[in-house]
Amino acid sequence: MKKKILTTLIIFLLTPVLSSCWDQNEMTNLAFIMGLGIDKGKNKKYDVSFQIILPRNVTSGEGGNVSQGPPITVVKSPGDTLTEASRNVHKIVGRQLYYAHTNLVVVSDKVAKDKNLLLGFFDALTRDPDFRRTSQIVIAQKAKAEDILSALSITEQMPVNKITKQIQISEKVLGKDIKIDIDNFLDGVVSPERESIATGYIVIGKKNLIGTPKSIENSKVSAIIMANGLAVFRQGKLVGWLEGNKARGATWVLGKLKNTELNLDWEGKKNVINFVPLRSRTSTSVRFMNKKPIFQVSIKTEGWISEANAPIDLEDPNELTKIGGIAEEFIKNDILRTVHEAQKLKSDIFGFGEKVHRKNPKLWKELKGNWNEHFAESDVSVNVDVYVRRGGVRTNPFWVDLKK
């Protein structure tokens, strides 16, 4: 009986110890990192910026009261490696860095253009168990990563959330930006079958005001950051940009376009019809002629007319078919311009190499060692099929009545 009582007592005493975590940290000892910025250093390889939450300045409670000051601070630390930079930052921040909430990595274009610098910090990101490999990566275009990371937002309390949400909304509504995370990016770096891309960000307005309350305190913001096209990589090095409709052409080919808008000409008048694709499907096939790959990109999409600033009879099926033909040519030209630009950059961002590998593994063994060169010389054709719905609450535009 005494033995049973002693055993029960030991179990009872050990339970709190066994249920605890060996590496548990108190909340008050942690610095929550929301984003990282990687710039080229002066005395060290990197200047790494850490966006840290300031809990005392974050809205709390039902009243939503906020103390004076921004909700984040950005601390910069030098290092020849990401690990060194993160350890050096402890000289400034008296807390343990906590990466579980990090959802953005900003890389300057100067770092992205240097393959050794760009790839030099990825091992640390993918090795640390606390770091989220689903964190998004963006490229600072003609700006420092520190500036992009420091920019305050008028719509989001956490500035990093503004960037991640902006990319998500832009991808959904405009089709000119793509959400790319750490794993997506590295897949393109290590794969011989396709290359990497990432959304670019620029600073608009007075750069010297970025990160200060003055940048957003007026109704007309004086300094903001904005998504601006896609950065194109070749073998882990930034080699160029796709902007505007060329960026949209990439999302068409990659099958990632969810929504966008096309301004179409009509009977000699520029940009009078606005056509909104709602559902799109992309397929890519490959055939071979004398060991040379020939690709065909096929797009099927349907959408509605959101504006018609011309006297068009939208009840006439022939008119709708004609609009569909104009949209087909528009989309085709968008895609061809994008493909030709990627071929100039010798970067297969579309994964055409994957099609070759699957279709003809034997030929792929011959081509994969120099695939980007073969991609640049490949023939690519585009076939587009558009179905147009009238859409909206009107049958015909009021221009028809004015014409009468």
Separation CA 328–CA 106 (nearest Å):
36
Please compute Rg for the chain using Cα positions: 27
Overall average pLDDT of the 216-241 stretch:
82
CA angle 283, 339, 187 (to 5 degrees): 70
Is the per-residue pLDDT at 101 higher than 90?
no
> Of 90-99, 224-233, 277-286, 395-404, where does mean pLDDT reach its minimum?
395-404
- pLDDT reported for residue 53: 84
Q: Which residue has the higher pLDDT, 111 or 222?
A: 111
Q: What confidence tier does 2 reach under pLDDT thresholds 50, 70, 90?
A: low
Overall average pLDDT of the 5-23 stretch:
49
N-to-C CA span, the chain = 105
Mean pLDDT computed over every residue of the chain = 84
Separation CA 252–CA 326 (nearest Å):
17
Overall average pLDDT of the 265-272 stretch:
90
Q: What percent of the chain has pLDDT over 70?
A: 80
Overall average pLDDT of the 156-170 stretch:
80
Separation CA 374–CA 382 (nearest Å):
19
Q: Which residues contact 91 (CB under 8 A, 6 or more apart)?
A: 77
Overall average pLDDT of the 16-38 stretch:
68
pLDDT in tens, 326-372: 999 999 999 999 999 999 999 999 999 999 999 999 999 999 999 99
**Which stretch, 10-14, 71-75, 109-113, 127-131, has highest mean pLDDT?**
109-113
Supply the pTM of this predicted model.
0.85
Overall average pLDDT of the 274-296 stretch:
94
pLDDT in tens, 35-47: 999 999 998 999 9
Overall average pLDDT of the 58-67 stretch:
48
Q: Which structural domains are found in the chain, ordered by start?
A: 26-243 (no CATH), 252-404 (3.30.300.210)
Separation CA 35–CA 52 (nearest Å):
8
Is the per-residue pLDDT at 390 higher than 80?
no
pLDDT in tens, 137-157: 999 999 999 999 887 766 666
- pLDDT reported for residue 9: 44
Give the residue among 359, 334, 364, 339 at the shortest CA–CA distance from 350: 339
- pLDDT reported for residue 12: 47
Separation CA 237–CA 189 (nearest Å):
9
Give the residue among 382, 293, 287, 284 at the shortest CA–CA distance from 329: 382
**Which stretch, 80-94, 305-319, 358-372, has highest mean pLDDT?**
358-372
Q: What percent of the chain has pLDDT over 90?
A: 52
